[in-house]
C-alpha cells in the first residue's frame, strides 16, 4: 500500500475503533459497573443509527422522514430514542436476575432487527437508508479526517461522562449493587431505580455509537446490526480491556479492533476460493481469543482497581 492509501486506511480504522470504544463504554456502565448482562447491544446500536438517519436525511418516500435536520440533532435524538427503548424494556426486565436479563436482551435485539427489516414505512426494510450525511459535511466538506475528529470528540465526551459517573457516589452505589444487592437495600438505596438508570445510560451511549456509525458509513441496513458485530465484538473488547475500568474499555476496543482487522489481512491471504471459510475462520479466531483471555487473564488488560486481589 502506498502512503496515501495507508493514511486513508488508518483514518477509516481509527474511526471504527472509536465507534466501538463508545459501545464498550456503554457496556461498561451496564456490565462493568452494575453487573448487568446485556446481550442486545446491537439492538440499541441499531435504534440509534436508524434514528439519526431518519432525522438527518433528505425527505424520502421510502421511509419515515427524513427530516433534514443537522447532525448534532441526529445524535441527541439517537441517544434519546435508545434511552426510551431501554427505559421501556428496563421497566419490565429490571426485576430479572442477571442471567435472565441476558436471555431477555438477546430476544429484544432480534425483535428490533426484525422490525427494522420488516417495517418498510419506517426504515425502508432490507433496502436500508442511503445518503446519510457525513458530520458537518455541508460546512466542512466530506473529508474523512473531519469524521475521525468528530468521532474521537464523542469518544472523549462519552469517556468523561462515564468516568465522572463512575467516580461519583452514583458509581459507588452501582458497584455495590454488583457486589451485593441486599446489602445495598439495607444501606437504604432503591436498587431497582439505580439499575434502571445504569441500563438506560449505557443504552443511550450505544445509541450515540449508532448515530456515529450511520453518519460515518453513510448507508445503513438491517444487515449491519447482526449480533456478531454489534454485540459479540463489544463484549470481547470490554472483557479483554478490563470490565469496570473505563480505560480498559478504550484499550480493549482498540486492541480487539486491531486484531479483528489483522485477521482480515490473514484470511485475505487465503485467496478468493476460501472466502466463505475465511469469514467463519475470523469469528473462530476471536472466539478462541476470548476463551484464552477468560482463562489466562479474566480481569482484562487493565483490571478494575481491586479486582486483581481476588
Residue ranges in contact with another protein by CB under 8 A: 161, 164-165, 168-170, 172-173, 175-176, 179-180, 182-191, 197, 201, 304, 306-307, 309-310
Q: Where are the alpha helices (DSSP H) in 28-136?
A: 41-56, 71-93, 98-118, 120-123
- Whole-number Å distance between alpha carbons of 218 and 137: 12
Min CB(82)–another protein separation in Å: 16
Residue with smaller CB distance to another protein, 71 or 194: 194
182-200 in b/e form (b: 16+ CB < 10 A) is eebeeeebebeebbbbbbb
Q: List CB contacts of 82: < 8 A, sequence separation 6 or more.
A: 44, 47, 48, 51, 203, 204, 206, 207, 208, 210
CB of residue 195 vs another protein: minimum separation in angstroms?
Answer: 13
Compare residues 161 and 259 and give the one whose CB is closer to another protein.
161
Nearest to 22 by CA among 195, 197, 203, 171: 203
Residue 14 or residue 173: which is nearer to another protein going by CB?
A: 173
Q: How far is the CB of 102 from another protein (least distance, A)?
A: 21
C-alpha to C-alpha distance for 23 and 38, rounded to whole angstroms: 12
Shortest distance in whole angstroms from residue 207 CB to another protein: 16
Nearer to another protein, 117 or 175 (CB): 175
Closest CB to another protein among 58 and 297? Answer: 297
Instruction: Tell me which DSSP letter residue 302 carries.
Output: S
* Helix (H/G/I), strand (E/B), else coil: 62: coil
Amino acid at each position: 500500500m502506498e502512503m496515501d492509501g495507508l493514511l486513508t486506511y488508518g483514518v477509516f480504522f481509527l474511526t471504527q475503533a472509536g465507534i466501538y470504544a463508545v459501545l464498550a463504554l456503554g457496556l461498561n456502565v451496564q456490565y462493568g459497573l452494575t453487573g448487568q448482562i446485556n446481550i442486545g447491544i446491537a439492538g440499541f446500536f441499531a435504534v440509534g443509527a436508524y434514528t439519526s438517519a431518519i432525522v438527518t436525511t433528505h425527505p424520502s418516500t421510502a421511509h419515515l422522514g427524513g427530516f433534514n435536520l443537522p447532525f448534532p440533532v441526529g445524535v441527541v435524538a439517537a441517544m434519546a430514542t435508545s434511552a426510551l427503548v431501554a427505559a421501556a424494556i428496563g421497566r419490565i426486565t429490571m426485576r430479572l436476575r442477571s442471567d435472565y436479563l441476558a436471555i431477555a436482551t438477546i430476544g429484544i435485539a432480534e425483535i428490533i432487527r426484525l422490525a427494522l427489516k420488516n417495517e418498510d414505512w419506517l426504515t425502508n426494510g432490507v433496502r436500508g437508508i442511503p445518503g446519510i450525511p457525513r458530520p458537518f459535511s455541508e460546512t466542512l466538506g466530506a473529508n474523512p479526517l473531519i469524521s475521525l475528529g468528530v468521532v474521537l470528540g464523542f469518544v472523549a465526551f462519552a469517556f468523561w461522562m462515564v468516568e465522572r459517573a463512575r467516580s461519583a457516589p452514583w458509581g459507588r452505589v452501582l458497584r455495590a449493587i454488583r457486589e451485593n444487592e441486599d446489602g445495598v437495600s439495607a444501606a437504604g438505596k432503591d436498587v431497582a431505580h439505580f439499575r434502571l438508570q445504569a441500563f438506560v445510560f449505557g443504552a443511550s451511549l450505544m445509541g450515540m455509537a449508532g448515530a456515529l456509525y450511520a453518519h460515518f458509513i453513510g448507508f445503513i441496513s438491517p444487515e449491519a446490526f447482526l449480533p456478531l458485530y454489534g454485540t459479540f465484538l463489544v463484549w470481547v473488547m470490554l472483557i479483554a480491556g478490563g470490565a469496570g475500568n473505563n480505560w480498559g474499555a478504550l484499550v480493549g476496543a482498540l486492541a480487539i479492533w486491531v486484531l479483528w482487522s489483522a485477521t482480515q489481512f490473514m484470511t485475505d491471504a487465503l485467496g478468493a476460493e476460501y472466502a466463505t471459510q475465511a469469514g467463519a475462520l475470523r469469528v473462530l479466531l476471536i472466539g478462541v481469543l476470548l476463551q484464552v483471555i477468560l482463562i489466562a487473564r479474566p480481569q482484562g488488560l487493565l483490571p478494575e482497581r481491586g479486582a486483581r486481589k481476588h
